[in-house]
Amino acid sequence: MNYRQKLILEKLAARDYMTIEALAQEFGVSKMTIHRDLAALQQAGFVLKQYGKVTAMPKRNSSWADQCQMCGQKIKEQNAFTLVSAEGNLYRLCCPHCGLMAYRQHGDSWQTLATDFLHGHVITAFQAHYLIDLELTICCSPTVLAFDSRAEALKFQKGFGGRVVDFYQAVEFINQNPIRSQIHGGSQ
């Protein structure tokens, strides 16, 4: 660890987060240099880079990866959504609703994974079928569910209403229906 990396950790210990911009200014170096410092620190498990901000990594036993990075809700694998940005940052979201919200903010992500709601296996989010506008709230509202198979999405639609759309239509839906309320149900 170099001297600057050590100072970065000390600074982070004193506050919730710092932006990469602020760190670059603070040390009078380029953002690229800070990125390199942080990449090394992240690899060593000391910090977490997300949304251009950096936070000190919570202690080992706390579970940042179990919490949605949009709404803070605990992630259940059945509905989980994962984005990996072009910079290699990992974003874990509780459901397609939060996943598509995050995608809107990080459109440059090169890997986007959803979970098939019925079977729980991981699918490429771009190729998934989404059920929107349904008469049921699962996780966040308005609820979006992801399916591998269009036939199964349509079957689900018969029971719960709504529309079956593709990835970009689902993003558009989230665009037009920003969060009405988060953390629904709350059943643990």
Binding residues for Zn ion (CB under 5 A): 68, 70-71, 73, 94-95, 97-98, 139-140
- How far apart CA 73 and CA 163 sit, in angstroms, is 25
- How far apart CA 165 and CA 126 sit, in angstroms, is 11
- How far apart CA 75 and CA 187 sit, in angstroms, is 12
Q: Under a CB-based contact definition with an 8 Å cutoff, are residues 156 and 136 in contact?
A: no
Q: Which is nearer to Zn ion, 66 or 152 (CB)?
A: 66
**Min dist. Cβ of residue 136 to Zn ion (A):** 13
- Alpha helices, H only, the chain: 3-13, 20-27, 31-43, 96-105, 150-160, 167-176
DSSP secondary structure letter of residue 158? H
**Min dist. Cβ of residue 139 to Zn ion (A):** 3
**Min dist. Cβ of residue 40 to Zn ion (A):** 29
**Min dist. Cβ of residue 66 to Zn ion (A):** 12
Pairing relation of β-strands 111-115 and 129-132? Answer: unpaired
Count of residues making up the chain:
188
Q: Which is nearer to Zn ion, 47 or 146 (CB)?
A: 146
- How far apart CA 98 and CA 120 sit, in angstroms, is 17
Q: Which is nearer to Zn ion, 49 or 97 (CB)?
A: 97
Q: Which is nearer to Zn ion, 30 or 185 (CB)?
A: 185
Q: Which strand (E) or helix (H) includes residue 141? A: none
**Min dist. Cβ of residue 96 to Zn ion (A):** 8
Q: Which is nearer to Zn ion, 5 or 109 (CB)?
A: 109
